[in-house]
Structure 1
Amino acid sequence: MGEVFALRAGEYRARIDRIGAGLQELTWRERDLVWPYTRGEGPLAFQGQLLAPWPNRVGSGRYTFQGTGYRLDVNDDATGSAIHGLVNDLEWVPLEESEEAVTLRLDFAGTSGYPFPLELTVTYRLGVDGLSVTTAARNTGAAEAPFGLGFHPYLTLGTPLHELAERGEVTVEATVGSYQPTDSRLLPAGDPVPVAGSGFDLRPPARELGSTVLDTAFTDLERDADGCAWVRLGGPGHRVSLWCGPGFGWLQLFTSDTLGGGLHRAHLAAEPMTCPPDALNSGRDLLVLGPGESVERAFGILAEQL
């Protein structure tokens, strides 16, 4: 069994990492749509990673669930938080594989900081309309389990965003209604605020990215007839679009400003999430799975010629 699964359909190609079930690469007409990685050099900054059993940050790595306190390892020193879950460095098992799709499974036994066993499956599928990613989580334990899910692709136009922005050649839009204010540790500070009249109003029509800095969680997502919310990153000749299906009620956008060197402001992370930062503490939109209960969520990425 290989460590990487290569998919192809029409003008799209993808590579899926058996470790972490991450999205290593997605191309269209031989153009990168996401910031790619290989195991020899990455992933960096969680590029392409599946985030479970929580996305984003847990403040100080501590939370309480049903009256019991738990402590997670802090792995984001800058904010003193536990970030992006526990499964991105684990080996997943392939269940089905074809030229267009692969399904991977992880039997997660839990840890001392998160003692809730789960069965996770993810299917990556390519088609003429791009990539779809469907993930299911099932509580295999005897007690209720707190759960959140997210993904961390970085959308790219092939040229660093800061270079395109200097020439006025990059636009962004997102069907978002509110944003989450944060404190200095990027943890929630108060309730979500409407984007109208703020610097975070990314609603259509598309606006120039310019000098806008984002490391921001959005909610109250506006959805199309299929129940999907959208992020669209436009450049010269084409745009990269990400859709979030029902149940992904949050979307984190990150303009990579805190990354160093050539990665600074090079790509746009667009992260579908079922819950906001620190949901294990706040409980906001946190899923609670009963024994044997499961949940499924989907998102996708595609390219569009302009």
Structure 2
Amino acid sequence: MMTDDVLTLTAPSGATAQIALQRGFNLFRLALPAGNETVEAIAAEPEFPAGGKPSHSGIPLLFPFPNRIRAGEFVTEQQSSHLLPLGDGPGEARDDGAGNAIHGFAFDRPWTLTRQDESSATAEFLMSKDDPDRAALWPGDGRLTARYELTADGLRCDLTVENLGDEPMPFGLGTHPYFALPVGSTSGDGAAADCTVTVPAAARYELIGGIPTGEILPLEDDYDLRDGPRYGSLELDDVYTQVAATPDDPGMIESVIANPANGLRIVQRCDAAFREQVVFTPPWFREGEARSATKGAICIEPYTCATDAVNLEQGGADAGWRTLEPGGRFETWFEIVVTAG
């Protein structure tokens, strides 16, 4: 069902999702049953989607690059130079406030709905059609297609990138989910600060002003998320790498947010093509702030490449930057489920 450009998906399990079609096909509400609970898994600012920033709520989809490109400048493999003008107007990339382009073109633009039924919806963002001013800034003509489906145990998203242009198209792809804390907050059990966060990454990039220097750092205690530290001890906006796949499936990565008070867990699974993970503790969702509709939130963001990967690779690093030839296609996926302990 669609009302005022908001799509509502439902499933026999009782799961519900809502997606803002005109604001980046942003899935901003996800209620999943687990045991006797219905868990609101995704955080959104109270005014979204009617107001607020699309990058501050739900699950923004980041394409043709995730996170930042230093100063909006890059050179392709074909040695063509590109400059993304920064600002809020037509033909300008979003500015992070420090003079860098941020989060690509798709997260804040209307998408085109191509198919919907009771439990699923598919939409596409074609640069030349849905944002022609920005499309002129990028080599190739990219299309990102996203299909959300409520499954028997959670949410599945299948993502496809295609190069519909006549020249090679560089790209990176990321998602930016805001997970609501504490897990199962409607029961009143537990505090956001006591929830644990587990991400199977063994290293992180050194950052200066949010931009990687290219140096990979071992994890100090304040950054190591492999053993599930408390959310209340974290203050992060970091790019993790050397992310391990699950022992029983080399093609899948799994991260977990758990509430020890009630045994409920939000589990994010994704294709191992999402080789980096950005972990961010957004200050606008900190516990105790009246502005927040939840008591806390954490972002665990699967990326196919590092922040500023296009420039890191020009410096000789393996940062995950991809190029699709004309007619080329890339497919990937992620899932979100809630389990009861």
Q: Structure 1 length normalisation: TM-score?
A: 0.89
Task: For residue 310 of structure 2, give the secondary structure of its aligned residue in structure 1.
Answer: helix
Runs of at least 5 residues in structure 1 that lack an aligned partner in the other structure: none
Q: Which moved more, 1:42-51 or 1:253-262?
A: 253-262
The match for 1:164 among 191, 198, 221 is 191
Deviations 1:255-296 (A, max 9, x none): 113778545982101111101111121232101000100101
Question: Structure 1 199/274 Cα, relative in aligned 2: closer, same or farther at 3 Å?
Answer: same
Report sequence identity in percent. Answer: 28
- Could you tell me which residue of structure 1 aligns to residue 211 of structure 2? 187
Asked if 1:202 is matched to 2:225, the reply is yes
Residue 203 of structure 1 aligns with an amino acid whose one-letter code is R
Match of 1:256 among 282, 292, 295: 282
Q: Does the aligned pair in 2 maintain the 1:103–1:121 contact within 8 Å?
A: yes
Tell me, in whole angstroms, the C-alpha distance in 1 between the residues paired with 2:142 and 2:283: 34
Aligned pairs for 1:221-260 within 5 A: 221-224=243-246, 225-226=248-249, 227-235=251-259, 236-237=261-262, 238-257=264-283
Shift in CA distance, 77/265, structure 1 to aligned 2, threshold 3 Å:
farther
How far apart are the structure 1 equivalents of 2:284 and 2:99?
A: 16
Alpha-carbon distance between aligned partners in 2 of 1:207 and 1:136, rounded to the nearest angstrom: 34
SS at 2:158's partner residue? strand
Q: Does 1:121 pair with 2:177? A: no
Does the C-alpha gap of structure 1 residues 46 and 85 become closer, same or farther in structure 2, counting only changes over 3 Å? farther
Q: Name the SS of the counterpart of 2:233 in structure 1.
A: coil
Structure 1 pair 288/256, CA: closer, same or farther in 2 (3 Å)?
same
Q: Does 1:28 align with 2:40?
A: no
Between 93-102 and 127-136, report the one with greater CA deviation.
Answer: 93-102
Query: AA paired with 1:303?
Result: V
Q: What is the rounded CA distance, in whole Å, between the counterparts of 1:123 and 1:165 in structure 2? A: 31
Residue from 12, 15, 34 that aligns with 2:15 = 12
Q: Identify the residue that residue 53 of structure 1 maps to in structure 2.
A: 64
1:304 and 2:339 are equivalent in the alignment = yes
| SS in structure 1 of the partner of residue 66 of structure 2 | coil
Query: Contact between 1:26 and 1:36, CA under 8 Å: does it hold in 2?
Result: no
Pick closer, same or farther for the CA change 1:245–1:146 going to 2, 3 Å: same
- Give the aligned residue type for 2:81: G
Whole-Å separation in 2 of the counterparts to 1:100 and 1:122: 14
Q: How far apart in 2 are the matches of 1:277 and 1:292?
A: 26
The question of 1:84 aligning with 2:103 is answered yes
C-alpha contact 2:181 2:295 (8 A) present in aligned 1: no
User: Are residues 1:291 and 2:316 paired?
Assistant: no
Q: Distance in 2 between matches of 1:31 and 1:73?
A: 41
Contact 2:181 2:298 (8 Å CA) reproduced: no
CA contact (8 A) 2:149 2:155 kept: yes
Could you say if the C-alpha distance between residues 120 and 248 of structure 1 is closer, same or farther in structure 2, counting changes exceeding 3 Å?
same
CA separation of 1:68 and 1:259: change in aligned 2, threshold 3 A: farther
Residue 208 of structure 1 deviates from its aligned partner by 2.0
The aligned length equals 299
Task: Tell me how far apart the structure 1 counterparts of residues 98 and 267 of structure 2 sit (CA, whole Å).
Answer: 30
Match for 2:83 among 68, 71, 76? 71
Q: SS state of the match for residue 192, structure 1?
A: strand
Cα separation, 1, equivalents of 2:136 and 2:117: 37
Rounded Cα–Cα distance in structure 2 between residues aligned with 1:32 and 1:150:
22
RMSD: 2.4
Query: Is the Cα contact below 8 Å between 1:79 and 1:186 reproduced in 2?
Result: no
8 Å contact from structure 1 (residues 157, 239) kept in 2: no
Question: Which AA in structure 1 matches 2:162?
Answer: R
Q: TM-score, normalised by structure 2?
A: 0.81
Q: How far apart in 1 are the matches of 2:181 and 2:14?
A: 16
Q: Which runs of 4+ in 1 moved over 6 A?
A: none
Q: Check the 8 A contact 1:256/1:265 in 2, yes or no.
A: no
Q: Provide the rounded CA distance (Å) in 1 between the counterparts of 2:254 and 2:68.
A: 23
Q: Secondary structure at the match of 1:234?
A: strand
1:278 partnered with 2:323: no
Q: Which has the higher helix share?
A: 2
Does structure 1 conserve the Cα–Cα contact (< 8 Å) formed by 2:8 and 2:18? Answer: yes
